[in-house]
A and B are shown apart, each in its own frame.
Chain A
Amino acid sequence: MARMTMIEAIRSALDISMGRDPKVVVFGEDVGYFGGVFRCTAGLQQKYGVTRCFDTPISELGIVGTAIGMAAYGLRPCVEIQFADYVYPAYDQIVSEAARIRYRSNGQFTCPIVVRMPTGGGIFGGQTHSQSPEALFTHVCGLKVVVPSNPRDAKGLLIASIEDPDPVIFLEPKRLYNGPFDGHHEQPVTPWSKHPLGDVDDGHFTVPLGKAEIRRQGSAVTVLTYGTMVHVAEAAARETGIDAEIIDLRTLLPLDLDCIVESVSKTGRCVVVHEATLTSGFGAELAALVQEHCFYHLEAPIARVTGWDTPYPHAQEWDYFPGPARVGEALVRTMEA
């Protein structure tokens, strides 16, 4: 057991996976010699050689397209898109190809790739370094979509993703790379070294895909969230004193519906929180599922707290990012309904 940042946990997952399976290869822009702009792949090239971990041309389409071909050959590529905002040139390869190859070939060819990408705001990245594109991927049958909220999960989920037989979109909330973040930007960030979820097992372990985790037990209202917003929701529950049950979804596709239904059936109230924009966001899917499966238990309308329907603005980042105040308001409103 060691205290790790999320970056170190991701690196550990890659290291362990590459060590266990020579078919695992890691590549992307700047990931080789330099170890990635966020240092997630630091040291891997030195340890495993240039053909297991290497730099690529700046072509997201090329990174994902070649990864698909490698997977068809029998390797297990885990590639990095430098920022989730840059994934769109590779979108066709992901949604029309990676997601479909097993189905359309009736299993003759498969595509066990992982596409890692830093996501979300909170680091003053402006509108091209802050996006949360998860809903664009959860709409695609054949993909799995994973968003960790802490180092332990990041390691276990990433190893599980690499070992998974299907393509996985692995979204890393970059605001959580170095420490948990409760949305109070004026306060110093506590590093993961001072947080129990920074305790990460050294060796190989997995966190199963498709399983949510209850981060905070409660009986008054269920908060459905993931990634950075888990920490914001925790802060909001703490600050409002509302007995909220906070579910960290961890995998958005496939989704742990049983956990959601059980919790909302118990609390009778539901607040959905995510950083991505509101309209057609993943929260809409969550709200629809809760309505379908828990309608007769609901005592209040389902609330959604999300980013606004604008591009991520640089100077107004703190007005955009759903903070504990906005989540707290939604909790209070839901309790009063």
Chain B
Amino acid sequence: MDDVVPLSLHVPEPEVRPGGTPDFSMVAIPKAGSVPRPPVDVDPREIRDLAFSIIRVLNREGEAVGPWAGLLTDDDLLEGLRHMMTLRAFDARMLMAQRQGKTSFYMQHMGEEAVSCAFRKALEPGDMNFPTYRQAGLLIAGGYPMVDMMNQIFSNEADPLKGRQLPIMYSSKEHGFFSISGNLGTQFVQAVGWAMASAISNDTRIAAGWIGDGSTAESDFHAALVFASTYRAPVVLNIVNNQWAISTFQGIARGGSGTFAARGLGFGIPSLRVDGNDYLAVYAVARWAVERARRNLGPTLIEYVTYRVGAHSTSDDPSAYRPKDESEAWPLGDPVIRLKNHLIRRGAWTEERHRQAEAEVMDTVIAAQKEAEKHGTLHSGGKPSVRDMFEGVYAEMPPHLRRQRHQAGV
């Protein structure tokens, strides 16, 4: 071969960087209502298109249209709106609390509220989520007390986790929320194991795994898909594609794959993409997948197409890697505003009632915060005991830990 040229490495780059004009022209968005709704026992080979399209219900006019619409009543939707507004208000207060030094760290959900709030509504008591750090909506929509969430964030004396976990890494078995890990992706395959155990035990409960677009690069993601596919585990595998893994755009983890959902196709897993900013669409797809799992039809992979409006965490500055106004250009809009507009269109809501509700929700969150702060914040007030630090490493404290606790003088 005489025509050999030196090789060069392809490194994917986002469309724009800070200073540029936000550009989402590469995000192909089908019309609301245009994607068909297959029966839950569909042969996965017949719905391969759903891994490349986006299921949407709410159109630009705020109407619910198409085959995925019509599943929720006014009351359901008003409840969903309140959940999302509560999560947003909770975020605002906790972000401020972090800035005030009341905790070390916080991660907000701005722009992604519909994903976890609507998904939770499709589950039954006893089902188990294996969440990441951006699904607090599962707790809010599941009725977990906000005061307990705040106690966890403040690592105070009433922290259900005794000050052992980073803020926002909640855990509640009772509310179907598995203990969050900071090691990315590990929970995805554990969700499959939980679901397999439910099937082994001839139970009726199902599991849901959660992972971000960036973490799909972890081996745990692939292990989860192969085990879920092999044993047809009753699990819903959720990928939240919020476009950014801290500063790394989703194209780095996605590589040459068409979409994240398309990764499920090679495993024979029904794989769908959904408008993650559309409460009705998220609920409809979640319910479809949950029903499949419950009817022993096996796993479903769902990619939520959404956008992380806020920073990755309180330690992150997104203006360093993306245009400041990029979130405003996001073509799928704001999930709270979209649901609000839909409810107004339905005649079930008004701008005035929305303003009132915003104030009420904020009052509730502030009241919870006051209650939590009575138990202390990270640097002031009550703290979990140092003695407790040595408890719970094992079911029974072994002799070497007893010695160390003694050395620590507690």
Contacts and interface: CB of A to CB of B under 8 A. Distances in A.
A66 B171 contact: no
A254 B399 CA distance: 8
Contacts of B399: 210, 254, 257-258
Interface string B181-199: 1010010011111111111
Interface string A230-261: 00000000000000000000000011011000
A160 to B, nearest CB: 13
A190 interface: no
Nearest to A49: B200
What range describes how many residues of B lie at the interface? 35 or more
Contacts of A164: 395
A103 B194 contact: no
Contact of A69 (B173, B191, B398, B400): B191
A59 B395 contact: no
Contacts of A89: 219
Contacts of A258: 399
Interface residues of A, number: 47
A65 B200 contact: no
Interface stretch (B58-66, B224-232, B368-376): B224-232
Interface string A144-159: 1000000000000000
A68 interface: yes
Contact of B172 (A62, A70, A108, A255): A108
Contact of A93 (B130, B186, B201): B186
Contacts of A106: 160-162, 164, 171, 392
Contacts of A110: 395
Given A66-B193, A69-B189, A166-B394, A103 B227 contact: no
Interface string A161-174: 00011100000000
Contacts of B196: 66, 69-70
A105 interface: yes
B220 A72 contact: no
B139 interface: no
A69 B198 CA distance: 10
Interface in B194-224: 194-201, 207, 219-220, 223-224
Nearest to A57: B226
Contact of A107 (B194, B392, B398): B392
Contacts of B186: 65, 92-93, 96-97
B60 to A, nearest CB: 41
B189 A62 contact: yes
A210 B399 CA distance: 9
A142 B396 CA distance: 11
Interface of B: 128, 130, 160-162, 164-165, 169, 171-173, 178-179, 181, 183, 186, 189-201, 207, 219-220, 223-224, 226-227, 230, 392-395, 398-400
Nearest first, the 8 closest Cβ-Cβ pairs linking A and B are A69-B193, A66-B193, A65-B189, A254-B398, A62-B223, A73-B197, A69-B190, A105-B179
30 contacts: A59-B223, A61-B189, A62-B227, A65-B186, A65-B223, A65-B227, A69-B192, A69-B193, A70-B197, A70-B200, A72-B128, A73-B193, A75-B200, A75-B201, A96-B183, A97-B190, A100-B181, A103-B164, A103-B393, A104-B165, A104-B179, A105-B171, A108-B160, A108-B173, A141-B393, A144-B394, A165-B395, A254-B399, A257-B400, A258-B399
